[in-house]
Structures are given as C-alpha cells and as structure tokens.
Chains A and B, each alone.
Chain A
Amino acid sequence: MTTSATTSVTTSVTNRNPGRGILLTSGLALALAAVAVPFYWLAVAATHSSQEIFASPPPLLPGGHLLRNLHTLQDSAHFGRVILNSLGIAVVYTLLAGAVCTLAGYGFATYDFRGRELLFGLLMLGLVVPTQVTLVPLFRMMADLQWLDTYQAVIAPNLALPFGIFLMRQSMAALPKELLDSGRMDGCGELRLFWRVALPPMRPALAALGIFLFLYQWNDFVWPLIVLREGTSFTIPVALASLQGLDETDYGAILAGTSIAAVPMAVVFLVLQRHFVSGLLAGAVKE
C-alpha cells in the first residue's frame, strides 16, 4: 500500500485504511452532533415550563409539561387555527406554484420559440433583485386590492417562483426529444403530451419541487408578517414571533409551538429526504 494512494480521500478503490475512516466518521459525527443539539434541546424544552427551562441545571431529558404548553398556545394565540392556516396555505401554495413552475419549466426546456431566452432571463431577474425591493409596493398593492389578512395575499405573489422554474427547466431538459417527437407523431396533443409523456418520468424532480415549495411557504416569515394583521389569520412563524414579543414570554409554550413548526422538517427528513437531496443534486449538477 503506497502512501500516495491513501492520501487522496476521494479515490474509491485504492483505500484500505480503516483507521482514517473511523477518524473521519467520528469527526463528522461530532460535527453533526453540534448541528443536531439545538433540535434535541428544542424537543426537550417543549415538554417543560418556562421556569424549568431556565433552571440550573437546565433540563436535558423530556418533562411532563407538554400538554400545558399546548393549552397555553391555544389560549394565547389560537394555535389550532394558526396550524390550520399554515397547513392550508402551504398545501394550496404547493399545488398552485408547483403547477405554474412545472408548466413554465416544461415550456422553456422542451420548446424552441421566439423570445425564449429573453423571457427566461426576465424570470431569472427575480433571483437577483432583492425581495425587499418589492416588499413595499406589494404591500400597497395588497392594501389596494383589500387583500390584507387574506390567504391569497400570502399565496399569490410568490407563485411564479424563479428558483422553482429554474429547477424544473433543469430537470425537464433531460427529457429525450425523441420521446416527445414520437408522441407527436402518434397525434398526441401538446397538453396530453405534457401530462402523459413528460410528467411521469419527472416524479423525483416533482417530489423535490413539492417539498421545496411546501417548506418555503411553511417557513416564510417576512411576507406573511406584513400582510397578516389579525391573530386568527396568522401562520405559525408569525404567531410565534408575536408571542415572543409579549412582555411576559412563556418560553415553554413558544418552544412547544416551535416544535410543531419543525414537524414537517422531521417528516421530510425521515421519509422524503433521499428524494429531496438527490432531486436538488440532479438539478444542480447540470448547470
């Protein structure tokens, strides 16, 4: 075994050094633990009262205060309603934005038409121009439309999400042209072609897009904060931020709410992450 063979960590076959592997794995495990500690602590703190959380020594194991915390959340922030708001908005947004981005991605990836590059470039402008530029005029637009405190005010402005369109165009570009052309030969209409021929092989990309859109909307904070004014229309992040601003902050309750906010992340992590990361990876590789 030559030393030069072991040194390159990226070569696949030549390495037979178990010591280095164990060292690397345990090093990364330590780093991952540092990343994961806040999540563990969050789950533990959600089951304690404010006093217990700030006691010395701080609690490191689950306590028995979870139901009380949830009760407090419901009493002080209509949290049941807030969860439904968040869920409804995120689901509707995912479906609508998913459709808009997928259709656009397909159009840009598989057709050659006049103005294609110009129009795509225009959409990608949205990635470069900071969101803050549109914040104020969008807020005024929503006020003029009398959309403040409505779900559509949260959902509509971000439906044509540049990143989503970009991701779908990247993925759709992998569709073999012959597949589409042979469909056309068979007299298949354009919409049917999209639905029956183009979409089925796109399932992993669609899953990645769906997860991305859902989490984007679920976590979005600034825009909902601006257009939602009434406690009963709040989404989870807005409600949590409003609770934190109170004079007497009940951290047990807030952290229980924060744990609820983290549930989709846990689901994605446990069930769908494979799809998600590999879907994003596939989109990123072919730049």
Chain B
Amino acid sequence: MTLAPPAPAPARTKAPAARPRRRGRAAPYLFVLPALLLFAAFKLYPIGWSFVMSLHRTVAGVDTYVGADNYTRMLDDPLMWTALRNTGVILAVQVPLMLALATALAVALNSTLLRGRSLFRLGFFLPMVTGLVAYGIVFSVLLNKDYGLVNWLLGQLGIDPVPWLTDGLWARISLGLALTWHYTGYNAVLLLARLQTIPHELYDAASVDGAGAFAAFRHVTLPGLRPALLLTTVLSTIGTLQLFDEPYVLTGGGPDNATLTIGVYLYRNAFTYFDFGYASALAYALTVLIGLLGLLQFRLLGEKP
C-alpha cells in the first residue's frame, strides 16, 4: 500500500514499474527479519523451553518428568509466600508513594517559574542511568550501621544509629528508599512528556472559572496525565514484581529473608541450588501474576472518562 504504483511517473531509462514493486514486497520482511530471528532464538525459544523445564526435575544433570509437581510445591513453600508478601508490600507502599512524588516532580519541572529547568531535568534523571551494582555498593556503604555517613550525620543530631540494613523493618525501608531514589526521576520524565501535551488553554479556562491551584491540578492535570500514569503504574508494577538487582546487591534478600523478592528467590533456586525446574515454575507463576496485574490495572485506569 505504501508502494504507490509508480506508473504515472515519467519512466526513466531503467525503471520499469514491475521490478521495484516485487523488490518492495519483500523489503519490509527483510528489514524486520534480523530482529525476528534473534528474538525467536533468544527469547521465544527459551520461553517455551522454560515451560517444559518447569514440568521436570533436574537431578545430577538428568531431567525427570514430574508433571505439575513444581507448581504444587510452590503452594507449600513458606519462602515463596515470604517473597510474595515482601513484593506485595513494596507494590502497595513504595510504588504509590514514588508515583505521587514523581507526579509532583513532573509538575514542578514543567513550571515556568522554575529557573534552570533543563539542568533539573537532567539531574533527576541521573540515578536512572546509574548502574545497579554501583548504587547498590554506594548505598550499602552509606547506610552501614557502624561506619556509614548517614548514621554519622544522625549521630551529630543526637540520634542513635539506625540498623538500616541489618534489621528486617529498616532493611525494607532502605530498599524502598533506594528504589525511590533510583526511579522517581525516570517516572517524572515519562509524566513530564505527557504533561507537555496538555493544552495551556485548559489551565486558562480553569483559572477563568476561578479554579485554584489544587482544583486545576485535580480537574486538568490529573485527567490529562491519565495515560502516562497508567504507563508508569504498569511499568513500576512489572519492575517491582521482577525486582532482583536492588535486594541482591543491598541486602542479598536478608536479614532473615525480610527483603527476599520473587526475583531473588528464583535466582537462588536456579543458580545456588541448581533447581532449574522449580526456578522455571516460579518464573511462569511470576509471568501469570504480571499478566493478571497488568490487565487489572488497564481495566481500572485504562478506560477513558
């Protein structure tokens, strides 16, 4: 269809209509072929293989078919429930707080009252491009109970040292803080992109109608942000359910599994215990969970008012 018949064009010496047309039909497939082949080999095939593996148990390199055993085992696995609960807590507490913060940040970054806007936009984006290992190491040293900078500063204020990474509750709080530090700016940029598409006239109309800042935010900004809020919510949910790097480098899932996530537990099963079958089953359960939550969020937030 994009190939408009070049018939009316003044034919040059060597441009018959038929040739480019035939070439043109194959062209789109050739452009997408490398991506598709690589994707099939390194993504689709492993996805299918993973399912087969989840029906087997590997003992000393030999796979035995065990049916749904790996899936039923999950239900009786207390660590699996611990991981699920920890992930749920992050999802229920950290994600909404972070997105609220990101929305406020996006509105502030969009304000014409702000000086040096581009500098701020870049600055808040910086944590996003920082490697997980790098910031895991930095945070674990900064938050060290006995020697860390944070506790030293608190000590100057007369506050007792906080067991940031060694106490269950505090470790969760630290994990939440690290996640917020890392992703707030990124979400703010996504929201900002959407914010810039909201027409100024809407705000002018709102202020003519006597709407205050809060009313304008509620009735103009929030509805306008809806698609971007949906996007950031879904992305954060997927990211949280898959959460691995931060707990792995900050706490290793500890203390006493207080920060164990499904991602860390899955990794442990696969690459510490070499229980590939169970790890694959966990991964599939996780996929289903992500799919269900994603659908739910589309249902709740997706419909246009």
Contacts and interface: CB of A to CB of B under 8 A. Distances in A.
Interface stretch (B80-88, B136-144, B162-170): B136-144
A95 to B, nearest CB: 13
A2 B53 CA distance: 68
A134 B113 contact: no
Contacts of A7: 207, 212-213, 216
Interface in B260-279: 263, 266-267, 270-271, 276, 279
Contacts of A15: 112-113
B36 to A, nearest CB: 6
A23 to B, nearest CB: 9
A58 interface: yes
A280 B187 CA distance: 12
Interface stretch (A72-80, A201-209, A214-222): A214-222
Nearest to A138: B46
B72 interface: no
Contacts of B245: 221-222
A104 B238 contact: no
Interface string A96-116: 000111011011101111001
Contact of B113 (A24, A58, A137, A157): A24
Contacts of B137: 240, 244, 254-255, 258
Interface residues of A, number: 108
A287 B191 CA distance: 12
A96 B216 CA distance: 47
Nearest to A164: B35
Contacts of B231: 287
A101 to B, nearest CB: 7
Interface in A217-257: 218-219, 221-222, 226, 236-237, 240-241, 244, 251, 254-255
Nearest to A188: B20
B71 interface: no
A38 B138 contact: yes
Interface string A1-26: 01011011111101101001100110
Contacts of A187: 12, 14-15, 20
Contacts of A287: 227, 231
Contacts of B20: 184, 187, 189-190
Contact of B276 (A56, A58, A140): A140
B36 A119 contact: yes
B123 interface: yes
Interface string B1-40: 1111010010010110000100111011111101110110
B283 interface: yes
A58 B190 CA distance: 37
Contact of B32 (A28, A58, A119): A119
Contact of B207 (A11, A12, A281): A11
30 contacts: A4-B211, A5-B207, A8-B206, A10-B110, A24-B108, A25-B113, A28-B114, A35-B185, A36-B123, A100-B35, A103-B31, A130-B286, A130-B287, A132-B244, A132-B266, A133-B47, A133-B284, A135-B283, A137-B50, A141-B46, A187-B15, A190-B27, A219-B129, A236-B131, A237-B131, A255-B138, A261-B131, A262-B131, A265-B130, A277-B189
Interface of B: 1-4, 6, 9, 12, 14-15, 20, 23-25, 27-32, 34-36, 38-39, 42-47, 49-50, 53, 105, 107-116, 118, 120-127, 129-135, 137-139, 141-142, 144, 146-147, 149, 152, 181, 185, 189-190, 192-198, 200, 203-204, 206-208, 210-213, 216, 221, 227, 231, 238, 241-242, 244-245, 249, 263, 266-267, 270-271, 276, 279-280, 282-284, 286-287, 290-291, 294
Give me the 6 closest cross-chain CB pairs, A-B, nearest first.
A107-B31, A219-B131, A111-B28, A54-B147, A104-B35, A7-B213
Interface of A: 2, 4-5, 7-12, 14-15, 17, 20-21, 24-25, 27-28, 31-32, 35-36, 38-39, 41-42, 45, 53-54, 56-58, 99-101, 103-104, 106-108, 110-113, 116, 119, 122-123, 125-126, 128-141, 156-160, 165, 177, 180-181, 184-185, 187, 189-191, 194, 215, 218-219, 221-222, 226, 236-237, 240-241, 244, 251, 254-255, 258, 261-262, 265, 268-269, 273-274, 277, 280-281, 284-285, 287
Given A24-B108, A141-B45, A181-B2, 20 more contacts: A9-B110, A11-B207, A25-B114, A35-B124, A35-B181, A104-B31, A104-B34, A111-B2, A113-B29, A119-B36, A132-B266, A136-B280, A141-B46, A160-B43, A165-B35, A189-B20, A219-B133, A226-B271, A274-B122, A281-B192
